[in-house]
Structure 1
């Protein structure tokens, strides 16, 4: 493969390149329009192209890899450390090129079209969940101004409105009654959209053998199994279960100086959505009436959230091990939660 390394800053319409010619050591910069990117690299010998892992990066990675190039994606926060001077496209491309020279920066795994499509369903569902929460909170605040206090929780609030709608309408002016009707209609539409997306996720699980195996792990449900299956792929992007758990931000952050190291909370690096699903699943596992013996012992000496995070860490390791090794869940494993992690 040609030794040329290209740092490419991508955008909607303008793409900036930075590279050094291996023969003459000449520093080259070039600006390309969106329509000229593939044409430019199609005429080049197979090279190494490095980009930030930002919007559209996985699409361009697949397109450039199809031309025979080696494509790498770098975390944006790692590239930022190499930027100097004023902020512009050329400086960003140079920072990407400089960051590419450091092998200790972990590369972001490339996602296939199928992986991105499956994760997109999760993202849209999460979006509509946030919209639904915002809508019910807005309605709760507006009704409070007219003396109507809704109970805590979405289901309880909607149940009260359904049971006492006549009394509520008597406390509201006509315009507010119409507004209440429109908001309740919007909530019904959101419920239908969320249910439709969840049906799609269930269909993905039925057709995905990896997701079906992950679903057998206590603490990993429908959302966790399908999201983990789409994120992990074949698991080869991570060298070990420990590395995968670290990349999900489930290990402690530490600071040290003068020979003293202080451990803090979890780093919260990586995919916040996957981490959230793992921690929610772990909390349900810890709350169960008869937890695994080692979890019960840990609860005796550590706070609940610390135990839940430890269980989430083990769930992440178990998921990687099952995907990378092609094994099934082993309920009688002596570690209690994880298998071959």
Structure 2
């Protein structure tokens, strides 16, 4: 919207990038007021010309939550939309993708009455998620470092049993052993790799300390961590990622948001279900599935209703399906626990409306 525009914009679609931000503004009748590119440092000044309450919608990106917080502070109705929900509204289709068309598609998608938007994360949520992202990167770097050490040792005919613990126990001895054919340069190189491994362990320990502190400070994290298969890391990630669980109408909707429900290819009244959709937050979904694996593998040691259900499902459908099913069940239980403010009870038996407790 330009300064001389007479009709105020009621909805603006924004396509974000590092240097240029494309805006597409329309009035109450859907008439296009402007579709222009703005320099990044001039975006907020342009938005200041919009009327209070104007809807400004942008796609999910690395800076979307930052811009949304800034726009809400200005009195605008800032919202975030997933890219896969806006893409079908691009008038030029898949072959007409550019910044202007993307901004127009975002603006059009936001006008749909049943459109789903991404909740805007707070600074505290994003700060904690920084720890989680760093921790995941450090884990990958540590695994690469350990595999690199193993590969270099094999170049000199030295094989070590699987597992980082086994390598840690024998690495110093191998580097001091003069019987193998490693020369001084190879030993110095492996010493440097060993120092990198230790440094990565220190960084990981720092991340774990931050997550443990978050658990101690936040009662919601402690409540979520009581579930079987959701430890301190998963609980912290869930609270930081979701924030307010009441944004979901039910536990089933929360599980669907995480991508733990099957894809549908149904037609003519015949249901056809496939693999899970894997939509939503991949990191949180991965944590839920990894936690469910440990529960499934140890279910035979417990007698609570969930463990008995998991064992029966494992015998009937296999352990892979049992793992995903338990992850979905944990997502539903997590929603119920967090929205009702109750403690997790592994012996709780849920009943459908109208059903009676068995005697």
Q: TM-score range by the shorter chain?
A: over 0.9
Q: Distance in 2 between matches of 1:168 and 1:116?
A: 51
Q: Which moved more, 1:291-300 or 1:207-216?
A: 291-300
**1:52 pairs with one of 59, 80, 93:** 59
CA displacement at 1:258 relative to structure 2: 4.7
CA displacement at 1:23 relative to structure 2: 6.5
CA displacement at 1:13 relative to structure 2: 2.2
Could you report, residue by residue, the CA deviation over 1:247-302 in whole angstroms, capped at 9, with x for unpaired residues?
11111112134543321111111111111111111111112222522222222212
Question: 1:211-226 alignment to 2 at 5 Å?
Answer: 211-226=221-236
Q: Distance in 1 between matches of 2:250 and 2:228?
A: 21
**1:152 pairs with one of 141, 155, 162:** 162
CA displacement at 1:221 relative to structure 2: 0.5
The SS at the match of 2:271 is strand
**2:41 pairs with one of 35, 60, 63:** 35
Partner of 2:3: none
Cα pair distance change 1:278/1:44, threshold 3 Å: same
**2:319 pairs with one of 272, 291, 304:** 304
Q: Does 1:72 align with 2:79?
A: yes
Q: Distance in 2 between matches of 1:323 and 1:37?
A: 38
Q: Which moved more, 1:130-139 or 1:119-128?
A: 130-139
Q: Distance in 1 between matches of 2:102 and 2:146?
A: 42
Cα pair distance change 1:58/1:323, threshold 3 Å: same
Partner of 1:101: 111
Cα pair distance change 1:72/1:168, threshold 3 Å: farther
Q: Which moved more, 1:185-194 or 1:86-95?
A: 86-95
Cα pair distance change 1:209/1:159, threshold 3 Å: same
**1:187 pairs with one of 193, 197, 210:** 197
Q: Does 1:279 align with 2:294?
A: no
Partner of 1:339: none
The SS at the match of 1:332 is coil
**1:20 pairs with one of 19, 26, 29:** 26
Q: Distance in 1 between matches of 2:259 and 2:280?
A: 6
CA RMSD of aligned residues (A): 2.0
Q: Distance in 2 between matches of 1:315 and 1:64?
A: 35
Could you report, residue by residue, the CA deviation over 1:227-251 in whole angstroms, capped at 9, with x for unpaired residues?
1111221212211111111111111
Q: Which moved more, 1:97-106 or 1:50-59?
A: 97-106
CA displacement at 1:213 relative to structure 2: 0.9
Partner of 1:142: 152
CA displacement at 1:3 relative to structure 2: 6.7
Q: How many residues are treated as equivalent by the alignment?
A: 335
CA displacement at 1:77 relative to structure 2: 2.0
Contact 2:79 2:118 in 1 (8 A): yes
Partner of 1:322: 337
Q: Which moved more, 1:129-138 or 1:167-176?
A: 167-176
Cα pair distance change 1:23/1:280, threshold 3 Å: closer
Q: Does 1:119 align with 2:129?
A: yes
CA displacement at 1:94 relative to structure 2: 1.2
Partner of 1:128: 138
CA displacement at 1:215 relative to structure 2: 1.4
Contact 2:229 2:288 in 1 (8 A): yes
CA displacement at 1:98 relative to structure 2: 2.0
The SS at the match of 1:7 is strand
The SS at the match of 2:272 is strand
Contact 2:9 2:50 in 1 (8 A): no
